[in-house]
Amino acid sequence: MTHAANPSPPMSSFELAGAIRAGDISAVEVTEATIARIDRSDGAVNAFTGKSYARARREAAAVDALRARGQDLPPLAGVPYAVKNLFDIEAEVTLAGSIINRSHAPAAQDAFLVARMKAAGAVLLGSLNMDEYAYGFTTENSHFGATHNPHDLSRIAGGSSGGSGAAVAAGQVGVTLGSDTNGSIRVPASLCGVWGLKPTFGRLSRRGSYPFVHSIDHLGPLADSAETLALVYDALQGPDPWDPGCHALSVQPVGDLSQGMAGLRVGILGGYFHEHATAPAREAVATAARALGASEWVEWPDAALGRAGAFIISAAEGGSLHLPDLRTRVDEFEPLSVDRFIAGALMPAQWYVQAQRFRRVYRDRVNALFKDWDVLLAPATPVAATPIGSEWIDINGNQHPTRPSLGLLTQPISFAGCPVVAAPLWPGGTQGLPIAVQIIAAPWREDLALCAGLALQNVGVAHLTAVEI
């Protein structure tokens, strides 16, 4: 079933934060309206696996109490959000999409990024559906049910942060947190038509999130506008001495995005990224390129090898992490991914070591591109959202298995650790479905990718399209 889209979306979370600060609406009113919207729509979407309504009401009341006392409100005061269910939420069990985790103890405290959101005044509404242990691109979770794409409920929402993408697309909340190892923020952002940010590897703390692949895992936000994405990214930043993988020694606020496009050098990724994209995905990139004044093609070095290296490291680390349960509880695993976990656990150590050695060389080659370019453009997914249960996708006459191939264009980028903004575009030939463009910048230059994203939004090329369910 396809739902009617409204090209004029409701107030973004960035605008909502301003309205709450101005006293035009209370945080409690916003929270109650959000709860009603989730309860009305989630039977169809299946984005939420847990609802934190009591906590949300407490957090909203605390925001209104601050305003009643005349105190300054933090930047996200009263803004509703939800998190992929691999983030720790105090006193709740962290499922990570698995029934195996139901036997785990509840989290003793919030994940670092959840604590950052709370400090910024945001209101937590609950936890979101995902592929089990983040190993997938479709969120067809056999335990908790598939998440449905709000633009066409017969189609996938992408993954593994599918609930995070669908919740924003359905207007349930304007902000969600997800994780991205091989594309798990950018794929659902693309298929659901929302904004997503995969930061630089090590930019944001991962403490208090259930891991998939420690060597490649990133955490980041999905949002309803470019301004919201930047606002949330600023709130999430901060050094964390307790996360050895977090290399952020200071906060780097993105500042005024509207001033950042002057003189920006924008290239278009060809070769691998052109060959593995269908006509609509190519059209999305061409539209973005015209809007940004880009015309030169750029070759990303060793993209296919980068994807292969990411596959090897993902399988090996993922299989190793779950080896005890694979030996004793294999029947409880997600049937769509259990074979990949087993294969990863059996992978020769030499392959893993070789992939890690190659990664160091690969990053140097990729980073050299940014001597000549500030941002690079590529499609986020080869195709638009596929029907739930699809086993194959057609890319220019070649058949590819759906579940791994939705990450064809994202894996080479995250393997290098570069920051990426997924900007939602709406090309022709997709039955009205979106495909995002990846805006890729050099490590630690999220600001440049966000500036380019805002520029696309300001000329009407990239935008969220509201869906009424």
- Judge whether residue 184 has pLDDT over 60: yes
What 240-243 contacts at long range (C-beta under 8 Å, 24+ apart), as own/partner pairs, is 240/112, 240/205, 240/207, 242/112, 242/205, 242/207, 243/112, 243/205, 243/206, 243/207
> Token pair of 344, please?
């990863």
| Known active-site residue 84 | yes
Exactly one of 26, 41, 52, 84 is catalytic; which is it?
Answer: 84
| Known active-site residue 160 | yes
- Judge whether residue 9 has pLDDT over 90: no
pLDDT of residue 270: 98
Mean residue pLDDT of the chain comes to 95
For 314, the domain range is 5-467
* 155 vs 445: CA distance, rounded Å: 34
Question: Smallest Cα–Cα separation from 408: which of 288, 299, 274, 220?
Answer: 274
Task: Name the pTM for this structure.
Answer: 0.96
> Token pair of 421, please?
């903004």
pLDDT in tens, 408-437: 999 999 999 999 999 999 999 999 999 999
Q: Which amino acid is at 244?
A: P
* 383 vs 70: CA distance, rounded Å: 50
The number of distinct structural domains making up the chain is 1
Task: Give the mean pLDDT of 122-150.
Answer: 98
Exactly one of 127, 160, 179, 314 is catalytic; which is it?
Answer: 160
pLDDT of residue 4: 46
**Confidence band for 252, pLDDT divided at 50, 70 and 90:** confident
Task: Give the mean pLDDT of 87-109.
Answer: 98
Share of the chain above pLDDT 90, in %: 93
- Burial class of residue 140 in the structure, from the number of CB atoms within 10 Å of its CB (0-12 exposed, 13-18 middle, 19+ buried): buried
Task: Give the mean pLDDT of 265-294.
Answer: 98
Q: Cβ distance 347 to 319 under 8 Å?
A: yes
Q: Give the chain's radius of gyration (CA, Å).
A: 20
- Judge whether residue 7 has pLDDT over 50: no
| Known active-site residue 209 | no
Task: Give the mean pLDDT of 81-107.
Answer: 98
pLDDT in tens, 378-412: 999 999 999 999 999 999 999 999 999 999 999 99
Question: Smallest Cα–Cα separation from 13: which of 200, 163, 226?
Answer: 226
Task: Give the mean pLDDT of 90-119.
Answer: 98
> Token pair of 96, please?
């990570």
Domain harbouring 414, CATH code: 3.90.1300.10
Exactly one of 161, 184, 205, 314 is catalytic; which is it?
Answer: 184
